[in-house]
Amino acid sequence: MDLTNRVALVTGGGRGIGQAIVMRLAAAGAGVIINDIDQASAESVAAQVQATGRPSLAVVADVSDAASVAKMMETALAALGRIDILVNNAGITRDRIILRMTDEDWDKVLDINLKSAFLCTRAVLPGMLKQRWGRVISLSSVVGICGNPGQVNYASSKAGIIGLTRAIAREVASRGITANALAPGFIDTEMTQKIGESVREEVKKRIPLGYLGSPQDVAEAVAFFASPEACYITGQVLSVDGGMAGAWW
Binding site for ligand NAP (CB under 6 A): 11-12, 14-18, 35-38, 41, 62-64, 89-92, 112, 139, 141, 184, 186-187, 189-192
Q: How far is the CB of 10 from ligand NAP (least distance, A)?
A: 10
CA triple 102-201-22, angle to 5 deg: 70
CB nearer to ligand NAP: pick between 134 and 144: 144
Q: Side-chain half-sphere of 236: how many Cα atoms within 13 Å?
A: 14
Q: How far is CA 100 from CA 158, 159, 219, in A?
A: 20, 21, 35
Burial status of residue 16 (CB atoms within 10 A of its CB: 0-12, 13-18, 19 or more): buried
Q: How far is the CB of 186 from ligand NAP (least distance, A)?
A: 5
Q: How far is the CB of 49 from ligand NAP (least distance, A)?
A: 15
Nearest of 152, 161, 171 to residue 120 by alpha carbon: 161
In contact, 190 and 15? CB cutoff 8 Å = yes
CB nearer to ligand NAP: pick between 63 and 179: 63
CB nearer to ligand NAP: pick between 134 and 184: 184
Side chain identity, residue 4: T
Q: For the chain, how big is the Rg over CA atoms in Å?
A: 17
Burial status of residue 190 (CB atoms within 10 A of its CB: 0-12, 13-18, 19 or more): exposed
> Which active-site residues does the annotation give?
154
CB nearer to ligand NAP: pick between 17 and 230: 17
Q: How far is the CB of 50 from ligand NAP (least distance, A)?
A: 19
